[in-house]
Structure 1
């Protein structure tokens, strides 16, 4: 399938620019280890709350952390940790998440450079915090390719609301229908549909093709296949 003419591509971060499980399973296991303070029952309760299998080091596809915000994650974890841990939980999750080791599904710099060479404006819209997004993009050496990076705390309602996507289009000075949103979850696709954008799903998160296809104009194995479908 060849996509309609585009002027911009907006990427989700986790599960799209970076493989979700490879990037976040280790971080989640470390968070549970720290917050449980060596208590196996507490560790189990935290893992169950976020639907994370510590033995397999894998998230359940229904985990609310996959497309949720750090604030939503903190609300799930807080009832299962000691009061002294709960007080600074949001700050701990934000700071520790900045240092999570992101694993790209494909070499990102040549892909993004090629998209920019086509005249496309590139952006990121993530339900992660904006500061974490910037940290991850800088660590991966790709921050300079993105004109705008928006997180759940950038002044817009998080996905699946379309606000963040429409905010990107407004900042770029482009009509929404000239933008493609690329993401690994239905949150991304629902937001893109509501914004009037082209919807592209990728399979580097935890959702399968059958889940994404009803809401996507195109489903790809990973973002490396995107140039093959550009007109």
Structure 2
């Protein structure tokens, strides 16, 4: 029997927004911008970032899937050693703020359904906090969340449980009565370590067999959560 739930903490990319549909266009443009049109650099960057230039899709082992912006910048610097990690990180963060968004479900109605259940809602992403704020505002749902944090918000990054526990502490919730919802093992491992219930969704790159060992339940997308909780 499901424990009473008082709060839901979401990952952002691959969870609230479909991963490939949102980030593939951004990745292609960013790789071309960083390589300054040099085809050899473009190919090297794509390989380092786990991006298939022919299919315009991320590979399942892409570091972008669960890494922080700083970690992605460190990957880029391996190909572009003349640029500082800080400069690359800044360029990535600025460009990510305007990435085209593909919500996994109509988010406003979805979040309203959860609010109607009396739940506290949060977002914890390994993206930058500024990008999370910008994208949630772009999607028109920023105000629906009680807590929005990135890897640079001072709480740490997943798979550490610390940023998840920060949400529980801020909302005065027992972690055992919080759901962590995500599309990667980073999300779910962090949730388990925090003592939370875990929900996996398949709107990222990982497949069900990869996620199910770490999840209490696996759904095609987040749209299944309100009915599951209400039941």
Q: TM-score, normalised by structure 2?
A: 0.97
Q: Deviations over 1:118-158 (max 9, x none)?
A: 10000001000000000000000001110000110011221
Mapped partners of 1:164, 1:85: distance in 2 = 27
Kept after mapping to 1: 8 A contact 2:69/2:93: yes
Counterpart of 1:225? Answer: 224
In the alignment, structure 1 residue 91 sits paired with structure 2 residue 95: no
In the alignment, structure 1 residue 108 sits paired with structure 2 residue 107: yes
Kept after mapping to 1: 8 A contact 2:181/2:201: yes
Query: Is the partner of 1:88 in helix, strand or coil?
Result: helix
Superposed displacement of residue 85, structure 1: 7.6
Query: Is the partner of 1:124 in helix, strand or coil?
Result: strand
Kept after mapping to 2: 8 A contact 1:19/1:103: yes
How do 1:1-231 residues align onto structure 2 when only pairs under 5 Å count?
3-81=2-80, 83=82, 88-231=87-230
Q: How much is the aligned-residue C-alpha RMSD, in angstroms?
A: 1.3
Q: Deviations over 1:148-186 (max 9, x none)?
A: 001100112210010000000001111101100000000
Mapped partners of 1:52, 1:42: distance in 2 = 13
Q: Unpaired segments of 5 or more residues in structure 1?
A: none
Mapped partners of 2:99, 2:182: distance in 1 = 20
Superposed displacement of residue 86, structure 1: 6.2
Kept after mapping to 2: 8 A contact 1:7/1:121: yes
Q: TM-score, normalised by structure 1?
A: 0.97
Query: Is the partner of 1:65 in helix, strand or coil?
Result: helix
Kept after mapping to 1: 8 A contact 2:185/2:211: yes
Superposed displacement of residue 87, structure 1: 6.4
- The count of corresponding residues between Structure 1 and Structure 2 is 230
Superposed displacement of residue 10, structure 1: 0.4
Pair 1:3–1:32, CA change in 2 (3 A):
same
Query: Is the partner of 2:65 in helix, strand or coil?
Result: coil
Query: Is the partner of 2:200 in helix, strand or coil?
Result: strand
Kept after mapping to 2: 8 A contact 1:124/1:150: yes
Query: Is the partner of 1:83 in helix, strand or coil?
Result: coil
Superposed displacement of residue 72, structure 1: 0.4
Mapped partners of 2:124, 2:3: distance in 1 = 21
